[in-house]
Structure 1
Amino acid sequence: MAKVVGIMTTSHVPLIGKAIHLGLQQDPYWKPFFDGFPPIREWLEKVKPDVVLACYNDHGLNFFLDKQPTFAIGTAATYTSEDEGWGIPTMPEFPGAEDLSWHVRDSLVRDDFDMVTCQEMSVDHAFTIPMALLWPDQKWPVKVVPVCVNTVIFPLPSARRCYKLGEAIGRAIANFPEDTKILVIGTGGLSHQLEGERAGFINKEFDLQFMDSMVTDPQWATQFSDLDLVEQTGNEGVELLNWLVARGTIPGPVRVVHSNLHIPISNTAAATMLLEPV
């Protein structure tokens, strides 16, 4: 049967993609962030997942202000990255795990989640940068299932709802009949705000508490409304909702394989965690 072998969460700042392109991994500004990934790559070499299910937020590549689903899932055969205007080179296309995608979609709809199904879909930096951080050669050894969460237009899905979505994805994976090892990724955050009076806002104390809760009390953040999360983490820090979806996919306890927090990268608290089921 299919199983979630781990959860990897990380920031997806567009500037990371440019740093990768320019080879700045050892630059003093970037090194503390990129140093968080060799232990994760060692784990990948050992575990060798078959599929990545990535929980992320689209930045206008597929959905814009006129059409913004709360939750969407890709069911395509392949996914291409496109030029978003950030100066990030496009990456090789990603092969889709079609059978798993359709199975998860069907299971979620039957579990009362109204998923938008995308049979054609492009993926932006929120998806591509974490993949390039895991596999720097960009020769993808996995198939992918993209799951998009609205973190753009208010009201956002509640933290509670996002965690429940993760639980439902976990149940769907557990019922998938093929012997498949799945790495779930949650991308974005942590605290940051890019505009307005609080531009540059970072809340290290909240970030550390949230990271700890991913292990010790995964539903801790579900007490906060979407506006509470904006107050605590900044307007873009609400991307931590993707982390909650990812965490919900493992129902039991987890252990920390690796964890890293570096402040700041492009006005962002750039955090990375790798968790595996106990």
Structure 2
Amino acid sequence: MARITAGVACSHVPAIGAAVDLGKTEEEYWKPLFKGFEYSKEWIKEHKPDVIFMVYNDHCTAFDASVIPTFALGCAPEFKPADEGWGPRPVPVVKNHGVLASHIAQSLILDEFDITIMNEMEVDHGLTVPLTLMYGQPEEWPCLVIPLAVNVVLYPAPTTNRCYQLGKAIRRAVESFDEDLNVVIFGTGGMSHQLQYKRAGLINSDWDNMFMDKIVNDPVAASQIPHIEYLREAGSEGVEMVMWSVMRGALDEEVELKHRFYHVPASNTAVGHLIMENKAA
């Protein structure tokens, strides 16, 4: 059967993608950040996932304020990089495992999660930046990718617990698929940041690290964090971290932490990164 063997948490700051695309990774400002992903590139090369299940959020490219689904599962054969206002990123087209994606859609809906099925969708930096951090600049992405877009842009976002329970349902869906596949699930976004008004530029490193501790060691406690705490402690965009709980819900309750990295600043936010493996993987 297919199995989820590991989870990756990763910020998806758009300026990171621009730094790679413009050849700035060795500049003094950016070099410490990319150094934190050197282990990650070797890890994923050795781990060799057949499929990445990518939990991310769209930034008003595939969706706008007229239609924003809470959970949108990509079931198209492929997903082209979106033009976010300065042209599409020079990265490969994302190719899907369409049969597994359709199986997951069916399983989630029968498991009473109302999923929007996307048969056409472009993907933005929320998805492409984590792939770039893990794989660099290949001619093609070395594995298939199933995208799940979560609404954290327009209120109300799903609760952290709903996301955590969705992760558990995704695991059940994957494990009921009868092809032998190594699946790695990504939870992206965050960490603390606010882009507007009086607290623009907010970074709360203490809270970020507390959150990372909980995600690794006490995911149930992490799943109980309310929206108001993200807003108060991590800024208006900190709610993106509910997506980490989707990833964490798909893993064993006790995991083996393979890598942890935290860096400030990257553009106007903090970057957090975790790699966790299921102990039985």
The verdict on a shared fold, with TM-score over 0.5 as the criterion, is yes
Contact 1:83–1:90 (CA under 8 A) maintained in structure 2: no
In 2, Cα distance between equivalents of 1:225 and 1:86: 35
Structural mapping, 1:56-67, within 5 Å: 56-67=56-67
Identity %: 42
In 1, Cα distance between equivalents of 2:86 and 2:222: 31
Aligned to 1:220: 221
The 3-state SS of whatever aligns with 1:32 is helix
In 1, Cα distance between equivalents of 2:69 and 2:227: 16
The 3-state SS of whatever aligns with 1:130 is helix
1:178-211 per-residue CA deviation (whole Å, 9 max, x = no partner) reads: 1000111111100000101110111111110111
The 3-state SS of whatever aligns with 2:223 is helix
Structural mapping, 1:37-186, within 5 Å: 37-86=37-86, 89-138=89-138, 139-186=140-187
Aligned to 2:205: 204
TM superposition score normalised by structure 1: 0.97
Runs of 4+ in 1 over 6 A off after TM superposition: none
Letter in 2 for 1:275: M
Structural mapping, 1:2-17, within 5 Å: 2-17=2-17
| 1:238 pairs with 2:239 | yes
Compute the displacement of 1:225 (Å): 2.0
Count of residue correspondences: 278
Letter in 1 for 2:268: N
In 2, Cα distance between equivalents of 1:8 and 1:227: 25
1:230-258 per-residue CA deviation (whole Å, 9 max, x = no partner) reads: 11211111110111101111133111111
Letter in 1 for 2:81: S
Structure 1: tracts of 5 or more residues without a match? none
Contact 1:170–1:251 (CA under 8 A) maintained in structure 2: no
Structure 2: tracts of 5 or more residues without a match? none
Compute the displacement of 1:88 (Å): 6.1
Contact 1:167–1:251 (CA under 8 A) maintained in structure 2: no
Compute the displacement of 1:103 (Å): 0.7
In 2, Cα distance between equivalents of 1:144 and 1:73: 11
1:63-120 per-residue CA deviation (whole Å, 9 max, x = no partner) reads: 1111111111000111100220256634221111101100111111011110000011
In 1, Cα distance between equivalents of 2:183 and 2:25: 28
In 2, Cα distance between equivalents of 1:238 and 1:171: 25
In 2, Cα distance between equivalents of 1:106 and 1:99: 11
The 3-state SS of whatever aligns with 1:19 is helix
Contact 2:91–2:137 (CA under 8 A) maintained in structure 1: no
Compute the displacement of 1:40 (Å): 1.1
Aligned to 1:258: 259
